[in-house]
Amino acid sequence: MTAFAWPIDQIRRQFPGLARAQQGRTVAFFDGPAGSQVPDSVVEAVCHWLRHTNCNRGAAFECGRESDAVLQAAHEAMADFLGADDPDCIIFGPNMTSLAMLLSRSLADRWKSGDEILVTRLDHDANVSPWVHAARVAGATVRHVDLNPGDWTLNLDDFQAKLSERTRFLAVGMASNATGTINPVREMISAAHAVGALTFVDAVHYAPHGRISVADLNCDFLACSAYKFFGPHEGILWGRRELLESLRPWKLRPAPDVLPGMWMTGTGALEAIAGTAAAVNYLASLADLLPQTSPDLTRRQKLDLTFRAITEWERILSLEMLAGLKSVPGLQIHGITDPAHVAGRVPTFSWTFPDCSPRTVSEWLAERGLCVWNGNAYALPFTETAGLEPGGTVRAGALHYNTIEEIERLTSALRQFRN
Ligand SMILES: Cc1ncc(COP(=O)(O)O)c(C=O)c1O
């Protein structure tokens, strides 16, 4: 099963947090869906910015010019990460939620009574409530794409039925932070465009798992968050230039009237922007550890290679997790469970026991150095639809730095819990 050569030791050594021990044993972090660990290079980039280039944007003096260069490099790094042509269309902000709220206000200017906004029941609430608030202000109607009971994938017939000439906007996630399901976003975007709707993709959960290309998706907006892909707490929004320029952002008068500054409200966490570029560079550097690499690859090509390998490693982790969780008596996985369909999910797993609260399970695992999450993870539309409120689920998510041994530890602890 491990024939695939993934340089796991070289990777793990770069993450200081992964060395944490509890009762003499290494802690296993399965809380990536709530925020990943970061490599030393990201810590260094944040510290370097604060030590050496700590200065607001646009200064005339040397340190300020150095700072501006670091920040410009971050726009370029994120353009590479998202497969975008134009670094000026990369907007940094506090987090994905705030950026979606900001954009929603401006989009609401274009909506009116009779218009329809389409959201899904598999999305994090950050990709639902901002559009619901904006629709209320504009007098537009919100429609919700339902799920298939069983594996809780999106019901695509329901999507088609709810999409119409009245649809102005589709908001959909690339992957669910609750069930791990990867959604057929490209096809949905194309269908939405066919009726003249704009499209917004929430790539927050998908970003650490797979390559993103806004050009390939052909979406209108896409957002993600660096703290999920090995960076600091920083949100990123990409939008098409003509849309970002023609929408009216809620901005201060002296703030720039051009991209990207017109959408970057207030003074940003500049050290986190610097750290975000380092996270992209870290991911690109993983390609150098792979046999298929070559010295003259561009950063984009390295990211292609890295994510192909991450996908392969995570497929192995998903299969291991599926087999292990299925061996635990009474454990019910909510999401895709068929190993034949493992390519349709990332290794994020949510489960419940019929007779025991998710909190009890996560506390029991925590005592054994196994970090999992419990609750609804803000994927409230899903937990409500699946009848999982108020406790939500237990959620364990693997990232490229997790090991098969950690998954065995987790699933054997769960078996012990049930005995
Ligand atoms: C799928 C998904 N979308 C959106 C968000 C919100 O991101 P942020 O914390 O950057 O606002 C999260 C956070 O967990 C998420 O998992």
228 Cα to the center of ligand 1, angstroms? 8
Q: What is the pLDDT of residues 151-185, one digit of tens each?
A: 999 999 999 999 999 999 999 999 999 999 999 99
**Is 8-38+300-418's fold the same as 45-281's?**
no
Q: What is the pLDDT of residues 208-256, one digit of tens each?
A: 999 999 999 999 999 999 999 999 999 999 999 999 999 999 999 999 9
Pocket residues: Cβ below 6 A from ligand 1 = 95-97, 124, 126-127, 173, 177, 202, 204-205, 225, 235
Q: What is the pLDDT of residues 325-351, one digit of tens each?
A: 999 999 999 999 999 999 999 999 999
Work out which ligand 1 atom sits closest to the CA atom of 100: 11
Residue 355 CA from chain centroid, whole number: 31
- Let me know: does 198 contact 220? Beta carbons within 8 Å: yes
- Let me know: does 68 contact 76? Beta carbons within 8 Å: no
Does position 140 have pLDDT exceeding 90, yes or no? yes
* Ranges of each domain in the chain: 8-38+300-418, 45-281
pLDDT at 5: 87
- Average pLDDT of the segment spanning 357-374: 98
32 Cα to the center of ligand 1, angstroms? 12
* Domain at 8-38+300-418, CATH homologous superfamily: Aspartate Aminotransferase, domain 1 (3.90.1150.10)
Does position 418 have pLDDT exceeding 50, yes or no? yes
Structure tokens at 334: 């909510």
359 pLDDT band, cuts 50/70/90, is: very high
Full-model pTM? 0.98
290 Cα to the center of ligand 1, angstroms? 30
pLDDT at 3: 60
Residue nearest to atom 7 of ligand 1 (CA): 96
292 pLDDT band, cuts 50/70/90, is: confident
Mean pLDDT of the chain: 97
- Average pLDDT of the segment spanning 408-419: 96
Does position 377 have pLDDT exceeding 60, yes or no? yes
How far is Cα 266 from Cα 273, in angstroms, rounded to an integer?
14
Lowest pLDDT segment from 1-5, 264-268, 299-303, 348-352: 1-5
CATH number for the 45-281 domain, one of 3.40.50.2300, 3.40.640.10, 3.90.480.10, 3.20.20.150? 3.40.640.10
